[in-house]
Structures are given as structure tokens and as C-alpha cells.
Structure 1
Amino acid sequence: MRDRAATRPDTKHFEEAHQTSSPLMAASSELKGNYDVFLSFRGMDVRNNFLGHLYAALDQKGIYTYIDSEELQKGDCIKPALMKAIEESCIAIIIFSEDYASSPWCLEEVEKIMECKEQRGLTVFPVFYKVDPREVRTPRGSYRKAIKGHERKYGRDSEKVKRWKKALFDTGSLSGWDLKDKVEADLINKIVREISMRLDRKLLHVAKHPVGIHRQVVKLESMLNLESRDDVLMIGLWGQGGVGKTTLAKALYNDIFKGFEASCFLANVCETSKDSKDLVHLQEKLLSKILVGKELTMFSVDGGINLMQHRLCHKRVLLVLDNVNDIKQLNALAGGREWFGKGSIIIITTRDNHLLTVHGIDEDHIYEVKTLVNWEALELFNKHAFVRSKEIVIRRDLVDSALRYANGLPLALEVLGSFLCGRREQEWESALNKLAKKDNEKEIFLDIACFFKGRSIEYIIDVLNTCDFDTTIGVEVLVEKSLITKERKTVQMHDLIQLMGMNIVKQECHDDPGRRSRIWLCEDVCDVLSEEMVSFGGLNTDFTLLL
């Protein structure tokens, strides 16, 4: 009797345990609001003047704003609809006018707004409309008179009034806008620019299935010491291609970016900085994201360095430099800690551990991103392999074979799972046999992944035929299996599939390249040749060199 498992073998309990309780997923959903801005105010005079103009300016910019349609003076308790609107907003603006604190309803709003600020990261801005901020904090003037009235009504030791006073103090202490003698139109323009900038700082897409990410984010946050404002911290995320460095950096960025004055995620730096002109463009992009609304032009990398040092040295920023492969990139984009304000955090992802050391990052702040543990690999594979095939039955030994082949590498699990998705058991068997057991196609596949991607079909056939391969048929089989493609007489391979092939070779001997079947990195070639020459034993002829 064969061992069978339907659709998602042995994973039901994994999904129930991890989908419903993932803090990472919960955090993402909490930060999504139905409204961009919630406006809290008091009185028809405010509504018909300042508030009306502010609402119109926000609406003109496409900023979805909640404003209560009723006068806020009916009853003592804030209605549930307003509570819900506050909870579903990204930003709250409180317009403190002279008569604001006389309304218990408004004070309930302030209390709720500050509660949401603490619990879910709601951004709060006070506007002091013809009142001094000290009147709100202390309270003084009309605010003191209003609080005294509430104490007479609810009792001097009323817990409710104490909560209101604390909410007023906390809100009045926040950075906001004071109208005073300013022109209202100018202040409204300034508020709309700030709100637009805040809303532009949105969550990054992490992954369709962020399996195994949350536990690593927790580890990283323990390294960051987010409460400290005394120094600038640089950390490195290091690991092999396809292991999830970028995904992890995005998740970490999403978790912490709201705690910084400004933030920037520069994706795939190595691909977008082929020469010095590209680096200048990246410097401009970095500054434009951090200094919103500033049009800055640079003409050289050195000029960009000087400008970044001057403009960023007093700002607490979060900067992610993703996929860095050259020290020149780091020198141009984050050359030193003194470039940034105290409390800033710079995160660098790379495949080159030594690059981080050269840049002065100590071992305690270098995090190795490793492959997924067994149950995580199974969960991720199943999410890609069985997403549209609820009724298909697949033997567990075939699933295990695919998992062994991917060896915990997230991108390999995604590619292989997607390739097998919707296929029947016989097709799984055939595909896995072709990929892992039939030497002819397997060896050709690995050679193309390590050496020949982008080379002409004629050249590949000529070289591999000298190794006694049936290359013509082997290439056709790989095309049929969607592992390679033919484009303009060249052989191409998706980056993810190439990474999977390279990873298969690396796993032959993780720590000793000389014991692998293929070597394609120059540094590995030099190391192996040096070791072989010193050993006097001659070169190991069991591996292939790309020279």
C-alpha cells in the first residue's frame, strides 16, 4: 500500500497554527486604514472657515478624509461610528480651538486617538487654532475653565476627567502647527504637503506567502535597540542568493519605519548602479525620498556625498540598501555613520559577507539569513504547489523529493512548487526524475545554470558534446520542462531556476568548493588552485573549472 497524502500533505495543523496568529500578518492588516485622515474639531466657526478650506485642499489631493457630518455637541459619549472611523484612519488631525475642550465628546475623541496612537501607530498632528499650545497642555485659559466644568459634573477625582487631562497633555506636547499670526492658506498648504509625504511612506509588499519571516524579524529587532538615540547603527543581512534577504529587509522596514523622521528603501542597488552615473542617480533618488518636496540635482558622486552629509546629518532616518555587491556603492550611499542623525539605522543586504566587514560593520551586527527549517519549507512549498489543485492526490515521497531538491531555499521552493502546481502524480514523478535522476539532462541543466546561461545554443552543444553528453536532445528536454528557454539562438534561464541549480552544486560540499562538481566563481577557482598546488598532489580532476 502506497503512502499518500491529499493536496497539502501533513500541513493542516501548520496552517491553522501559523496563519491565524502571525504577528507579522496582524501588523500589516492593522496599518491599513479605510481613511487617510480623520479630522477632529469643535464648532461651526471652525467648520465654516479653516476646517472647510483644509478639507477641500486634502480632497483636491485625493486624500480620503473623514469629517463628522453632525455638530459635535450632542450627548456626552462619542458615538461608535466615530470610534470606528478613528480606528480605521492612518492619520488624525486635531484642531484645538478655543471652545474644543468644553465638549466631552471631543475629549473622548482625543482619548481614543491617543489610544490608537499607542496601540496601532496612528500618526497624530495637533493644530493650535487661535490658542497657545500651553493652554492645551497645562491646561490654561478656556481649557482650564472647561476642565473645571467637567470636574464639577463628573467629580474632581473622576477617572474619566483624569484620562482627558492626560490625553490633552500628551497631544498638546506633540509636534504640530500653530496658526498664531500665520496666513491660513500658507498653513493649509504646509499641512497638506506633510500629510501627502506621510501617506507616501507606505508598507512595502513583502511576499505573497511570508513563511518564516516573522521569527527572523523578531531576532533582528533585538539587535537594533530601537529605543536608543545615541548612535547611528549599521547592520548587514548576508546570505546566498534566493535565501530571502530582500524579503526579510522589507518586513523589517515595514515594522519599524514609522518610528523615523524619514525612510528610504533602495531596491537592487547592484543592478541599478553599473557606473558612476547610476550612483549619482541613486544618490538623487535617496535624497528625494528622504527630503520630500526637494528638487536636488547632483553632477558627480563626490558632489552627492557632500550634499548627503550636509542634508542628512541631523535627520533620524531608516535607510535600506538592498543587494549591494561593491564597496563603491556603500561609499556613495552610506559612507559613514556621521552622515546621518543620531538614532538612524542603515540596513545593507548582500551576498558578500566580507563587504560588510570592509565597511566597518562588526560581527555582532551581521545577520546570516539561513534557509528555512523543515516545517517552514514544507509550508511554503505547499502554498505554491497546491494553490489551485484541491482534488489532486500526490504521494508524500514525491513531495519529500521536491523538498530535498530545494533544500530549504525559499526561491527554489517557490519556483519548483509553482512548476509542479496543477500537475498530476505521473507528471510530478516524470519532472522530478528528469530534474534529479536522469544524469544526461541533470548534468546539462547544472552546466547551463553554472556556466552557460546567455551563451549561444551552438556553443553549448559544441562544448558539452565533447563531454560525451547527448546535448541536442538534453536541451530540448529542458525546454519542454520549462527549465530553460531559447531566445535569439541563445539559451536563457530564469534567475530563480539558475539560483536553484547553483544551490544544488553548492550543497555537494558547502564548505569546500574543491569537492564540488563545478566551480564558477573566480575566488573559488583561485582558492582551489592554490590549495592543490601547495598539496603537491596535482589538481582534482573530478570538478569542472570555468576559465
Structure 2
Amino acid sequence: MAKENLGLAMASSSATSSSTQKHEVYISLKNDDPQIKFIADMMSTSLTIRGVPTFKDEKQLRKIQKGTNLKRELKEAIGMSKICVVLFSKDYVYTSWCLEELVVILRCRQRWGLIVLPIFYDMDPSDIRKQRGDAFKLVNAQIQGRVWWRRWKSALKEAGNLSGWDHRGSSRIESLLVGKLVEDIVEKRIPTNLNISIYPLRYDTCDQYLNLFLQVGKDDVLMVGICGESKMGKTAIAKAVYEQTFYTFESSSFLSNVSQNSRQSNGLVYLQEKLLSDILLERNINILNVTRGMDMIKDKLSFKKVLIVLDDVDDLEQLYALVGSRSWFGLGSKIIITTRNLQLLNAFGIDQIFLAQGLPLPPNIQAILGHFQQSRRIIGELQEYIQVLHQLTTEKEMYLKGRLLIQRQKKPIQGQKQAHDGDSSFD
């Protein structure tokens, strides 16, 4: 029971200790492998240079290799991270404490939105997902049937389904891998806790705030909250964004009056059926109970890029039943939640909260224009931020292409020789 509660405790720590957070990226690896350690060191150094602090405490890792239980400090380090890089190797799946660490990492991903980036080093992702191949023969023979193997298998299956880097073969170049990974991590550092106040007046541009925010980290599953008192324009803002962006997603659903509908007989089941019907474009969807509905949403939507709006939410149970985890949805999915309860959004681990502050129409038109101009300035700053992100990505791609071209021009003979010789020194 203590282990189950630990995930919540450390996740709570991550939610409340952002001001004291000393690292943003946690690197999970089997530290005995020299090549894996080399990649981790290169990654840590590159991220530090780019201003992204990492956690890779070798002394602490060595201390816990003898047991299967992770130390409290290490669990807190995972919970305090925004991004976790998992370096999968054959030795990784042999080691019980690595697998237990993976369980904690994925628990944080499910409950608090930790971004997990796997690197499959000399391993087929499908082998991780299905626990097959040479790497798992010894594992299965030694620990199959034990109580904890079930949760390890579940964690491996989930990790194998994540989008990551398949780094196999003799032609791999570690520096290019690290370069791409570092750029991806820098891009995923989405600005959080801006809590921009938006004024839904007829002259305002509040819906543009959300549109711009959803462009940042466009491949991530983002959950955005719009919070405010009654009659502040929360629903109007959500509808405006929905109508402007739904066509860019594979499927979409706008669930109105969630709090009212959930209190009807089998209300949550009805909302689950409505959500699946909208997304899958199927009329006759029958769900036995809420738990079964949660499983169906996860199974049916985990590979779909969807836009979902939950309007007027007032209970955590509604969120868990309808959008319980980011892992339920495909890359690039966005979930918008409107509510009067700010604490509810914080407890659920929302990526960004927008505070709707509706104002009566002032007699002085200059007051309206003042808010309008302020909105324009903030929107301009957000647009500039997004342009800088895109520019950095483009420049990095051009740099990598140039480096590859230079290497090909300088070493054509050596490249041909390696092709005849077969495996390289990386094996």
C-alpha cells in the first residue's frame, strides 16, 4: 500500500515544488553499460549548456543497484521532473530496480503528465512492447510468475508504445542522436503557469490566446483549463477555439453541461458514450459501466489526434472518467476544460490555466480599446515566441544536413569500405 501511495506523494511534490525545482530532465539508464553512460553524459552536458538542468546522480544510482526498491530521494527526483529520458538497453530489462523505476516514471506520466522520451538502444521497440527476443529470455526464466512481474510487463508494454528513437544498427551516430534529442527536449519546454487573464468582450481577442498556446508543443497531448465565475464567457471562449481548430484534428467532441449531465442516472456512462460516438462517428455505442468506459476510451483513442472540450466540469471524477490520462490520446491531441473550480484544475495537473474575467461594457470606449491593445501586445509576444521556436528547429535541421553532406564528401572511400566490411566498431 505504501508503494501505491508513494506515486501520489511524489507527484504532489512535483506539483507543489516547482519553485524549488533544481532539474527539468531525469535520465533513466543502466549505469554499468559504458556506451549508454557515454550517451547519457553527452546528453546531460548538452542540455546543461542549453540551460536545461538534468538529474543523473551516479553515486545515488550505484547505491540502489543492490535492491529492487528505489530510494525516496530518487522517486522524488522523478516526480519533480518535467521530462524523463529512458535509455533502454539489454541490461536495462535484466535489472529489477530499472524496471521498478520505469513503473514510477510511467505512473507520473499517467497521473501528472510527465513527458517520457524512450531511446531504444540496440533493442527493437516491439520486443520491449511484447517482452520477446534474446533480451527477455533470461528475464522470463528467472522472474516470470512473481507478483511484481505483472506490473513490470505492463510498464514495458506502455513504454514500447511511446514515440521515441530507434537507435540500432552499425550506421548509428551517437552525436546526431543526442543532438536531435536535445532539440526535441528544448522544444517541449512549454511555458507553464502563465495564468493569463482574458476578457471575453466583443472587441477582445481572447480566443487567440488559446490558439497560440496550442501551437506550442504541437505534438504533445495538452490539457488546458479555462476558469472563472458564472457568466464570465468560459463557454464562449471554448466554443470559439473549437470552431476555429476542430478541422485540424482527426476527430473532435464538444461535451456541454458536463456537471449537470453527470448527475443524471448513469450520467458519466452517457457522457462516455457521447464522447466515443462523436470521435468514432458511431451511433450505437453501449457501455456497461464507468470503468469499462474508461478502458474503451483509452483503447479506441490512444492513436487518434483529437480535440475534446469538456464544458462546465465541477468534479474530479468527471475528468478521470472522460480524459483520465494523456496516454489515452494520440500525439497532438488537445483537451480544453471549463470550470469554476481552480483547485480542480490544479489537482488534475492541467498544463495551462486561463482565467476568464468577464467585464461589463464600460461607458468609456477607451477602456475597451485599452484591453484590446493589451491583448494585441501579449498575442504578438506569443507569436514571436513560437516563431523563435520554429526558427531554431529549422536552423538545427539545416546544420545537421550540412554536417552529413560534409562527412559524405570527405569520406566516400571509407564509407564504401565499411559497407563491404559489414559491422562497425559500434557493435
TM-score range, shorter chain: 0.3 to 0.5
Task: Report the TM-score when normalising by structure 1.
Answer: 0.37
User: Comparing both chains, which one has the higher relative contact order based on Cα–Cα distances under 8 Å and sequence gaps of 6 or more?
Assistant: 2
Largest Rg, 1 or 2? 1
TM-score of the pair, normalised by structure 2: 0.47
